[in-house]
Structure 1
Amino acid sequence: MRIFSGIKPTGDTTLGNYSGGFRQYAATQEQGEAFFCIVDLHAITVEYDPVALHERTLDLFSMLVATGLDPDRTTVFAQSHVTAHAEASWLLGAVTGYGQLGRMTQFKEKGDQQEFVASALFNYPVLMAGDILLYQSDIVPIGDDQRQHLELSRDIAERFNSRFGHVFTVPDGVYPEVGARIMSLQDPLAKMGKTGSSEQGTIYLLDEPDAIMRKFKSAVTDSGRDVRRAEDKPGVSNLIDIMAVATGRTPESVEEEYGDAGYGTFKEAVGEAVVELIAPIRTRYDELRADEGELLRLLGVGADKARAAAAPTLERMYEAMGFVRL
């Protein structure tokens, strides 16, 4: 089984990243040959700071390892270190419809926020497809917000295979049963993201315990006092999902224990559980991030492994499309 997923080195990593991504990565690496990519080329689709990109890449690599990825058994690498990704993106552009890209939700949302809309923002879903398809990925562990991108990748793979012969495995998405999309503590209808979310509504994986507790104590809840999930109670439902993720329990068992506890008691309990979850992650992250030389060495090892894995697929693409090869 081949496994692939990627994450952008932008913003500070959050509890939402852990819930929808990192914990899945650590779990799925046990299921087969896994590739996890820091998609730094995706980070330049909007205005960015080059110095921050450099630092964020090393930050994110440290966090991926701190949350459970093992570089000795899993290929963890930076996208820009494997030029096959950029090449595959150009080739796949030949089987990607303009209309499909224009309908991508994230393009429309991010484009509306930019004074200058780069063509890279429009085209980056093709690059994402290349990321996934180069490794003949069987499964892609991702958060709920990436469903549309994976479906496009599947469409591109099927269209390429139909036109040029079978080259790609058509991948399936793997989504967390609980916590696929963690929402802001201040606006439970908005995703808790690395960018664009309120500070008070976002739990960062490097937050101090006191800051985490303050944020949970001020979390927006709903009318009533019973701690149970419901469509008309997005705030409480979000807190229940966070508690389930932090403790490894089911939402139903959380409801059973805290159903009549009241919102104040429950918010404090969720905060304490998250503090306990994050504490060893922060400790391990600090240890890793302090040794930049070792991080660069490990990234080099990952890049070598990724290049070797991607090369056969890229060669098959060129041959299937009719290019003269030397």
Structure 2
Amino acid sequence: MFLPRISSRLPKPRRFIHGTRRNLTNAIHSESSDAPLARKRVILSGIQPTGTPHLGNYLGALSNWVQLQRDSSPNDTLLYTIVGWHALTLPQDPKKLSQSRREMLATLLAIGLDPNRSIIFHQDHNPHHTEFAWILSCLTPFGKLKRMTTWKSRLADSRNANNESEVNESLLNAGLFTYPVLQAADILVYRATHVPVGEDQTQHLELSRDIAQIFNQTYKRLFTLPKQLSTPSKRILSLKNPAAKMSKSAPDVQSRILLTDSHNQIKAKIRSAVTDSITGVTYDPETRPGTSNLLTILGACTNREGSDVAADYRSKGHGELKADVAEAIEGLLRGPRSEFERLREERGYLDDVAKDGAEKARALSEITMLDVRRRIGLS
């Protein structure tokens, strides 16, 4: 899968001029706030700044973001946000979180996102998200939030529990319980029409649609219901437990390939990856999940299906497969890793990108919030 590198020269983000706010806003909204949206896509997605992105993130959401940027219409508006407020739903070390926010921005630029084409910003740089989340929380039924399941898995991960049944609900804080409302605000405050999310986030997007419908029914139609944007992605599993997805929060660091891992680290992690004792290499996710996961990774790195890759290893063993997987991963990550190492030191440039992205994002969300406040009686 080809991901473009940014130029070795740091491009200056085009500064947002406040006098052009109406032009930018009209790219998303019609002149009348009560009129339906123009037939242009507004695509929004976000990523938490907790931990270094891993190979699964790269082959899933992040590569799709770059693909959307490449293939979208010039009329489409693309917003990619680093969701710092969502990170606070679980305990964070303040110094590490501050560093992770900056490094996540460097990562998004290193993989090929262009701040002059996409609006790239920190969620916490735009207070409209939390303002709107409070308004929406006053409309969201408690029962709908109680039916959400993702908070259980997040608590289980944070406590290193074997499964969700071991989670003690007394540990649940209000932010973790209600963060789906903030997620709805993230989406609706820009009147996003499409949201690229995986299957594990479908329930959250459905809640966002429900909340938008409640607002429309209560205060007159304002929001188009956002649609799930299905994008092709490979489900990359843990190198140590192929029954689970590769995860940033898994306690065993050997279970994932980080975008910052060196060539030697990649080779060591792949050599120690769980496979099986069956002779030969075949693609069978049910009975040979570890071996099949390596084939999936190799296929994703070479733009092939894992089942097709397996044919190349009929007369080979796991040792040869692992060596080829390690080299394919290194070939995929070498460029973005080099860009990341360079960009992480360019603090001034990263600050400029973040500031410019936040100004553009606020210009869009401000129009929505003015209309929201008017409708609910707070203007």
Q: Which TM-score band applies after superposition, normalised by the shorter structure?
A: over 0.9
Q: Bigger shift: 57-66 or 125-134? A: 125-134
Q: Which runs of 4+ in 1 moved over 4 A?
A: none
Against the structure 1 CA distance between its residues 68 and 158, is the aligned structure 2 distance closer, same or farther, given a 3 Å change threshold?
same
Residue 61 in 1 paired to residue 115 in 2?
Answer: no
Match of 2:354 in 1: 299
Distance 1:23 1:55 in 2: 23
Alignment partner for residue 129 of structure 1, among 184, 192, 195? 184
Letter in 1 for 2:288: K
Match of 2:115 in 1: 71
**Where does 1:16-27 land on structure 2 (aligned, <5 Å)?**
16-27=56-67
Once the two structures are TM-superposed, the CA of residue 87 in structure 1 deviates from its matched residue by 1.0
SS in 1 for 2:223: coil
Retained in 2: the 8 A contact 1:20–1:142? no
Once the two structures are TM-superposed, the CA of residue 232 in structure 1 deviates from its matched residue by 2.4
Retained in 1: the 8 A contact 2:49–2:101? yes
Distance 2:89 2:242 in 1: 28
Match of 1:177 in 2: 232
Once the two structures are TM-superposed, the CA of residue 319 in structure 1 deviates from its matched residue by 2.6
Residue 249 in 1 paired to residue 249 in 2?
Answer: no
Normalising by structure 2, what TM-score?
0.80
Match of 2:207 in 1: 152
Against the structure 1 CA distance between its residues 154 and 260, is the aligned structure 2 distance closer, same or farther, given a 3 Å change threshold?
farther
Once the two structures are TM-superposed, the CA of residue 259 in structure 1 deviates from its matched residue by 4.5
Distance 2:305 2:270 in 1: 20
Once the two structures are TM-superposed, the CA of residue 93 in structure 1 deviates from its matched residue by 0.9
Distance 2:142 2:378 in 1: 27
Alignment partner for residue 194 of structure 1, among 248, 252, 263? 248
Once the two structures are TM-superposed, the CA of residue 200 in structure 1 deviates from its matched residue by 1.1
Match of 1:2 in 2: 42
Once the two structures are TM-superposed, the CA of residue 9 in structure 1 deviates from its matched residue by 0.6
Match of 1:15 in 2: 55
Against the structure 1 CA distance between its residues 262 and 163, is the aligned structure 2 distance closer, same or farther, given a 3 Å change threshold?
farther
SS in 2 for 1:95: coil
Q: What CA deviation, in whole Å up to 9, does each residue of 1:195-248 have, x standing for no partner?
A: 124211111100011110111112112453332133222222322221222122
Unpaired runs of 5+ in structure 2? 1-40, 160-167
Q: Bigger shift: 151-160 or 247-256? A: 247-256
Residue 268 in 1 paired to residue 323 in 2?
Answer: yes
Once the two structures are TM-superposed, the CA of residue 133 in structure 1 deviates from its matched residue by 1.4
Match of 2:260 in 1: 206
Letter in 2 for 1:17: N
Distance 1:155 1:51 in 2: 37
Alignment partner for residue 90 of structure 2, among 46, 58, 73? 46
Distance 2:105 2:186 in 1: 17
Distance 1:272 1:144 in 2: 30
Match of 1:109 in 2: 153
Once the two structures are TM-superposed, the CA of residue 99 in structure 1 deviates from its matched residue by 2.1
Distance 1:168 1:211 in 2: 47
Higher radius of gyration, 1 or 2:
2
Distance 2:91 2:113 in 1: 30
Q: Bigger shift: 59-68 or 99-108? A: 99-108
Q: What CA deviation, in whole Å up to 9, does each residue of 1:48-85 have, x standing for no partner?
A: 11111111000000001101110111100001111110
Distance 1:85 1:260 in 2: 56
Letter in 2 for 1:11: G
Normalising by structure 1, what TM-score?
0.93
Match of 2:143 in 1: 99
SS in 1 for 2:361: helix
SS in 2 for 1:207: coil
Match of 2:14 in 1: none
Distance 2:140 2:276 in 1: 44
Q: What CA deviation, in whole Å up to 9, does each residue of 1:62-118 have, x standing for no partner?
A: 001101110111100001111110011111112322122223222123345387432
Retained in 1: the 8 A contact 2:64–2:233? no
Distance 1:259 1:306 in 2: 52
Against the structure 1 CA distance between its residues 312 and 267, is the aligned structure 2 distance closer, same or farther, given a 3 Å change threshold?
same
Once the two structures are TM-superposed, the CA of residue 170 in structure 1 deviates from its matched residue by 1.6
Retained in 2: the 8 A contact 1:3–1:29? no
Retained in 1: the 8 A contact 2:190–2:364? yes
Match of 2:9 in 1: none
Once the two structures are TM-superposed, the CA of residue 135 in structure 1 deviates from its matched residue by 1.6
Unpaired runs of 5+ in structure 1? none
Against the structure 1 CA distance between its residues 233 and 155, is the aligned structure 2 distance closer, same or farther, given a 3 Å change threshold?
farther
SS in 2 for 1:200: helix
Distance 1:178 1:291 in 2: 31
Tell me the number of residue pairs that the alignment of Structure 1 and Structure 2 aligns: 323
Against the structure 1 CA distance between its residues 102 and 271, is the aligned structure 2 distance closer, same or farther, given a 3 Å change threshold?
same
Once the two structures are TM-superposed, the CA of residue 324 in structure 1 deviates from its matched residue by 3.7
Distance 2:124 2:239 in 1: 34
Q: What CA deviation, in whole Å up to 9, does each residue of 1:114-150 have, x standing for no partner?
A: 8743211111111011111112222222233322222
SS in 1 for 2:121: strand
